[in-house]
Structures are given as C-alpha cells and as structure tokens.
Amino acid sequence: MKMKRILALLMAVLLVAGLLAGCGSGDDDYDIVIGVLAPLTGPVSQFGTAVEAGVNLYVEQFNALGGRQVRLEFWDEEGAAELGVAGYHHLMDLGVDAIIGAVTSGVTRAVVPLSYEDNMPMITATSTHEFVTVNEETGAVFTNMFRSCFIDPFQGQQMAHFAHQVVGAQTVAILYNNEVDYSIGLMQAFVAEAEILGLEIVAIENFQRTTVAFQGQLTNIMAHNPDALFIPEYYQSVALIGPQSVEVGLETVLLGADGWATILDFMDEPSSIEGAYFLTGFSAEVDTPLVQSFITDFYAANGFMPNMFAAQAFDAAKILIAAIEATLDDIEAGLEAGADWRDAVDVATFRQSVIDNMGATDIEGVTGPITFDHLNNPQKGAIILTIREGEDGFEESFWGYFYGR
Amino acid sequence: MTFVMQLINGLQLGSIYALVALGYTMVYGIVKLLNFAHGDIIMVGGYIALFSLTAFFLPPVLAALLTVAGCTLLAIIIEKLAYTPLRFAPRLSLLITAIGVSILLQNLAQIFFGADGHAFPRAQLFPVGWVYIGEIRLTYASIITLVLSVLSMAVLAFLVKKTKLGKAMRAVSEDTGAAQLMGINVNHIITFTFAVGAALAGVGALLYSVHFPLIMPTIGVMLGLRAFVAAVLGGIGSIPGTMLGGYLIAFLEVGVIAIGGSRWTDGAVFLILILVLMIRPTGIMGRTMMEKV
C-alpha cells in the first residue's frame, strides 16, 4: 500500500516536471529556433543520425558560449519525399527561423520549391545532387537553398585538375562502374574538365556492380600506358582493382574520389595502391586544431567517430547560425537592450538578410575553408588523401587542400 | 602482347568457372536439380578459409583442407535437410528450395559476418608473386589455378570413369529405378555426388579468394550464375562439356572486353544462355534425352 502511494507521488512529480520542462523550451528563452529535416529512422537513417549528431554538437557548443541561445526542432522525414514536405509545413507552423536539411537529395529536392516560395533560409549538409540548388527545368537558382557538401561533378572536375597540375599527367585512363550514377557522374565531369585542360583521355573502360575480374579492362588500359588512372568508384571494387593492376603489371598513378574512404580496411595488400590520391569531404587525418578538437568533442559526446556526414552537418549548422547571428547583430544594433528582435523586424526582411549573409559566408569549417559560388554550392578546398607507408604500415595520409580552380 | 595477356586472363577465369560449373553438372546429372545454392557454398568456403587463417592462425595446408571439408559437410547437411525430403516432389519444388537455400545462406552470412567485405590474406595461403615469360607477367596465382583446376578435373574424371563408385553414379544418373534394382544404394550415391560437387566448390572457394581477395556475402551469386551458364553452354550433365563451357564463357567475357565492349560482358554471357536454350537446349556436348513415359 505504501509502495503504491510513493509510486503515485513519483508519477505526479514526474508529470509536473514534464509540464515545467515544456515551459522551459518555449520560444521565450531562445533567440533562434532552427528546424532540422532528417531521416532519423528508416533505410537511410545512418545518414540522418549522423547529421543529427553533427548539428547537435555545434548547437551545444554554440549555446555553451553564453551568447544567443539556439533551439533545434527535429522532424523525422524517414528519407521519404512526402514526409519531407509534411515536415516542412510542420516546421513552418512551429515558426522556425531557418531550416537545416533535408538529408538525401530526393527529399531535399521535394522541399526546395516550397521553401523557395517562402524564401526560407535553408542549408543541406548532404544532398549532393546537382539540381538541389538549381531548378532542373528552368535553370533558375533556388536562391534560398545552400549546402555544405560537394556536388557530384565537383569531384570529377577537381581530380582532372589534380591529374593535370600535381601528377603532371599528359594521358589519363578511366575505369568506372556503368551501373552506378555516382561513378558515371564523376567520369563525365572528369572527361569534360580534361577536355578543357587538354588532358588526353586514352582509354575509358567500365564494369558492372558485380564485376570482380578487372584484368581484362586493366590489360586494355595498360596497352595505352597512361600517366594516371582515374577510378571513381566505391572501395569494394577498388580493393580488387588495386592488386589486379599489379598482377597485370600496370604501372601508373591511381586517382580516386570520396568512395575510396576507408579503403585500407578492405585490403590485405595496400602496397598495390601505394601513391594513389583520392579526394574526400572530411578526414580525421587532417591535423589542424579545428578538425582535431571537433573529432575529440564529437567522440566525447557520441562515443563514436564522426564521419563525413556528421562533419558536413556541423559545418552546415555553423554556416547557418553565423548568418543568423550577423542578421541579428544588425537588427539589434538599432534596438534598446532587452527588446525582442522579432517585434522589430518583419519575417520577409529577416529571411532575405539571412540568405544574403549565407551567400557571403567565408568561414573555416571542419571540412575545409568554405565560401559559396553563384549557384550556392560551396567552394571548398578539396581534402586530398594519399596512400603511403607510415610507421604503423600503410595509411591514408593528408596530402593537403587542393584548389583546382 | 595484349592479346596473349588477355588469353591468360581468360584461361585463369575459365579455370575457376569450369571448377564451379562442374558442381552444377554433377548434381544435375544425378538428381536433375539446378543447385542454385552452389555459388553460396563457395561463399561460405571463402569465409571458412578467411577465418581459419585470420582468427585461428591455421597453417595454409590445414586451412585449405578445412575449407574443402567445411564445404563438403555443408553440402551434405543441406542435402539431408532441404533436398532429401523433396526427393519425390515435383522438380520445380526442388528448384525453388535451392533458391531458398541460396538466399538463406547469404542472409546468414550477412548476420554473422556483416554486409561489408573482409580482406582475404592471400599471402598467408601461398606466396604472391609472378614470373616473366617474355614480357608477360604470369602470377603464381594463375599458375596454381590452372594446375589445381586441371588436377581436380582429372581426379573427377578418374572417379567417374574408373571407380566402382563412379560406375554407380553413372548408373543412378542413367536410370535411378534400375540402379536401385541392381542393389545400388541410391541415397548414398546422391549424397556422395553432392559431397564431390561441394569439394570442388571448396577448391573453387580457395582459388576465388586468392584471385579476388575480398570476401562478401554476395560473392557466390554472380560466380554461380556465370558457372551455371557455362554448364548449360557446355551441356549440363556432361563433365567434359561443362569444362569446355567454363573456358568458353571466360574467353567470351574477356574477348568482349578486349574488343572494347566492357559494358556488354554481362549481356554477352546471358545472351549466350538464351541462344543455347533456344537453339540447342542440351548444350554443346549434352546428350539428347528422351522423356521417360
């Protein structure tokens, strides 16, 4: 009987505490409210939860500085376009000031036309599709939409420049997967850029998703004796192509893209890709204090290492909040202390000012220095990693930032 | 020189295909079952070899023997649990069961070992290196593949043609009922055939892992399909025909790549399957069999 009474009391206390907590998160205590569209459950939830962790970390650190306070409103869009649209309306009803998201290109592309109508400041950390910031039909820029990740063609262009400038190649061959859009897109961008640079493409060979024997293609490539071989593909295939290129006796500089990340975990003979270069959006090998403290803090908060998506989300939050801060600084300069900025400015002016400030971004992110081009795509230094033999065997080591153009 | 290199590429790929295709042919010859789980037995063999080297640090010879033994045991278990209860069921049920076993093995592998690939430490199995013949680089792996597969096929041919067990196998294949009347234990012979096919799969798993040192739950699928096409092309049920089919499919594949059509390799292989089934369903060396009434 006594137990029951204690339990009832406990429940009552919890209920009241819940009510109080509800009060605490009201708009009154926060200066900025940001909505986040991300798939927190469902088939692509690993991307969504990485983005969630990255955004959370930045906001916690920002709030800990003691200045303006930011509150996040998450909406789980499960990777489905219609849920993304529903989430957008929900966040707008809540009256958020800006939005981070969505995560996959499909969802973001479904939301962008709506947010463009509202001129809502928006930034995605992970949607790499070319037509996220540009209307595919009209070619008009979605001026309110930004992103902190590379677009797919960018990687192909950068590696063409890298082959030309750093490797000093005159002739290049390409080996790509003709069943994967990522691989095809990078190949096409590489070829287009190589043409501009006067880099001669001597062979383009392809393979399928299930291919394991690449000797035929590599033998063809060898007959052309290229200075470099570009392989825009995921690590599973590259882990087989490496040793097989040695077996057929192909000697050339291997070039890759971000699909190569963690390749060494899947290779028993890393010497076969020694001296290869590949580009990536984020690497724990970048030994700047900014990146290293991000990794330490992220690990402390989450218990696992940040991946590229988490790092890009961290940067997306940083870009957006910096833009909002700049806008609020302007607004509040004309206000007397203690007044709420929301009473002093109309929503349309606020949004346009945040968008203008985002466009003028020039920050040092954990994924590199970031500015935006006229299509709202980031102009970052590409992180180039190279495979070389270190003290503990072969490693992916940071070659440097590369600015192709 | 490129031509000779492509020839060698075809030869080593063909050896693996032929070895795997023989497993299909053996089982089909006896119970008229297309054992679609055969490729996945090779996948399991790859994991056995991998873990005997990396987790249990077995010497290479022991690891190889364990792989072959493991594949054989697995095939016997599958035969007893999945196929024996269906011996008198329609052949379609058996075929569907084989596909089911294939999916089951893949998913079990995914649960136990994860969907990501595991690097195979092939250098621990035998030395990685090569010799030069003229300007052509010939790897130890391709030499051993050629030797081992030709040897396996010779042993198989001897077993089937010259031993009493082989005679019994041929008898069961020819006419199960009559063989039983002659005092042959048909069940034992069928199990034995599965075991032989799986032992070949074990050897195939070792050769596969050495050539393609990344073990994943799905590696058996495409390998199995290619080998199946090879068996159909050569004449499923015929041992020399199947070997021929294995080499032909590999040469076709490499040939298509060599003339610049690398995007058509899958297409060419499966086009062959369709053509064979349309024009000569028994394959190059298969016998035309009358349906028994």
Question: Tens-of-pLDDT digits for all 293 residues of chain B?
Answer: 788 989 999 999 999 999 999 999 988 888 888 899 999 999 999 999 999 999 999 999 999 999 999 999 999 999 999 999 998 889 899 999 999 999 999 999 999 998 888 999 998 888 888 898 887 888 898 898 999 888 988 999 899 999 999 999 999 988 888 999 999 999 999 999 999 999 999 999 999 999 999 999 999 999 999 999 999 999 988 888 999 999 999 999 999 999 988 888 889 999 999 999 999 888 888 776 554 44
In this prediction, residue A3 carries a pLDDT of: 61
* Set of chain A residues whose Cβ sits within 8 Å of the Cβ of B2: 219-220, 222-223
Q: What are phi and psi of B56, to 5 degrees?
A: -110, 0
Asked if B262 and A222 come within 8 Å (Cβ–Cβ), the reply is no
Strands A277-280 and A253-256: parallel
In this prediction, residue A4 carries a pLDDT of: 67
In this prediction, residue B184 carries a pLDDT of: 92
Selecting from A212, A219, A268 the residue whose C-beta is nearest the C-beta of B119 gives: A268
Beta bridge partners of A386: A277, A397
Element (H, E) at A88: helix A81-94
Q: For residues B192 and B203, what is the distance between their CA atoms, to the nearest angstrom?
A: 17
* Set of chain A residues whose Cβ sits within 8 Å of the Cβ of B267: none
pLDDT digits (tens, 9 = 90+) for A137-162: 999 999 999 999 988 888 999 999 99
pLDDT digits (tens, 9 = 90+) for A181-207: 889 989 999 999 999 999 999 999 999
Q: For residues A57 and A309, what is the distance between their CA atoms, to the nearest angstrom?
A: 13
| C-alpha distance from A181 to closest chain B C-alpha (Å) | 15
* Contact status, residue A57 vs residue A100, Cβ threshold 8 Å: no
Q: Is A45 exposed, middle or buried (0-12, 13-18, 19+ CB in 10 A)?
A: middle
Asked whether residue A231 carries a pLDDT value surpassing 60, the answer given is yes
**Tokens 């990340």, located at residue:** A261
* Set of chain A residues whose Cβ sits within 8 Å of the Cβ of B212: 212-213, 240
Selecting from A178, A247, A269 the residue whose C-beta is nearest the C-beta of B137 gives: A247
**Tokens 């825009």, located at residue:** A232
In this prediction, residue B232 carries a pLDDT of: 93
* Set of chain B residues whose Cβ sits within 8 Å of the Cβ of A269: 122-123, 128, 213
In this prediction, residue A180 carries a pLDDT of: 82
- Least Cα distance to A305 among A283, A278, A281 occurs for A283
Q: For residues A228 and A171, what is the distance between their CA atoms, to the nearest angstrom?
A: 7
Task: Give the angle subtended at the CA of A132 by the CAs of A375 and A116, to the nearest 5°.
Answer: 80
Q: What are phi and psi of B185, to 5 degrees?
A: -80, 95
Selecting from A223, A247, A268 the residue whose C-beta is nearest the C-beta of B2 gives: A223
Selecting from A219, A266, A267 the residue whose C-beta is nearest the C-beta of B9 gives: A219
**Two tokens at B156?**
């198989």
Asked if A265 and B258 come within 8 Å (Cβ–Cβ), the reply is no
| C-alpha distance from A113 to closest chain B C-alpha (Å) | 37
Single-letter amino acid code for the residue at B36: F
| C-alpha distance from A347 to closest chain B C-alpha (Å) | 48
Beta bridge partners of A72: A34
- Least Cα distance to B57 among B131, B153, B121, B150 occurs for B121
Asked if A220 and B2 come within 8 Å (Cβ–Cβ), the reply is yes
In this prediction, residue A10 carries a pLDDT of: 62
* Set of chain B residues whose Cβ sits within 8 Å of the Cβ of A248: 5, 9, 137
- What's the pLDDT band for A229 if we cut at 50, 70, 90? very high
Mutate which of A220, A238, A273 to test chain B, going by most B C-beta atoms within 10 A? A220
Overall average pLDDT of the A29-42 stretch: 90
- HEC readout, chain B: CHHHHHHHHHHHHHHHHHHHHHHHHHHHHHHCCCCCCHHHHHHHHHHHHHHHHHCCCCCHHHHHHHHHHHHHHHHHHHHHHHHHHHCCCCHHHHHHHHHHHHHHHHHHHHHHHCCCCEECCHHHHCCCCEEEECCEEEEHHHHHHHHHHHHHHHHHHHHHHHCHHHHHHHHHHHCHHHHHHCCCCHHHHHHHHHHHHHHHHHHHHHHHHHHCCEECCCHHHHHHHHHHHHHHHHCCCCHHHHHHHHHHHHHHHHHHHHCCCHHHHHHHHHHHHHHHHHHCCCCCCCCCCCCCC
| CA within 13 Å, CB half, A50 | 20
| C-alpha distance from B253 to closest chain A C-alpha (Å) | 9
Find, in chain A, the residue whose alpha carbon is nearest to that of B130: A247
| C-alpha distance from B62 to closest chain A C-alpha (Å) | 21
Selecting from A213, A222, A266 the residue whose C-beta is nearest the C-beta of B13 gives: A213
| C-alpha distance from B79 to closest chain A C-alpha (Å) | 28
Find, in chain B, the residue whose alpha carbon is nearest to that of A265: B119
* Set of chain B residues whose Cβ sits within 8 Å of the Cβ of A268: 119-123, 213
Asked if A213 and B128 come within 8 Å (Cβ–Cβ), the reply is no
In this prediction, residue A23 carries a pLDDT of: 44
pLDDT digits (tens, 9 = 90+) for A342-360: 888 889 999 999 999 999 9
* Set of chain B residues whose Cβ sits within 8 Å of the Cβ of A267: 119
Strands A70-76 and A98-100: unpaired
Q: What are phi and psi of A40, to 5 degrees?
A: -90, -15
- What's the pLDDT band for A16 if we cut at 50, 70, 90? low
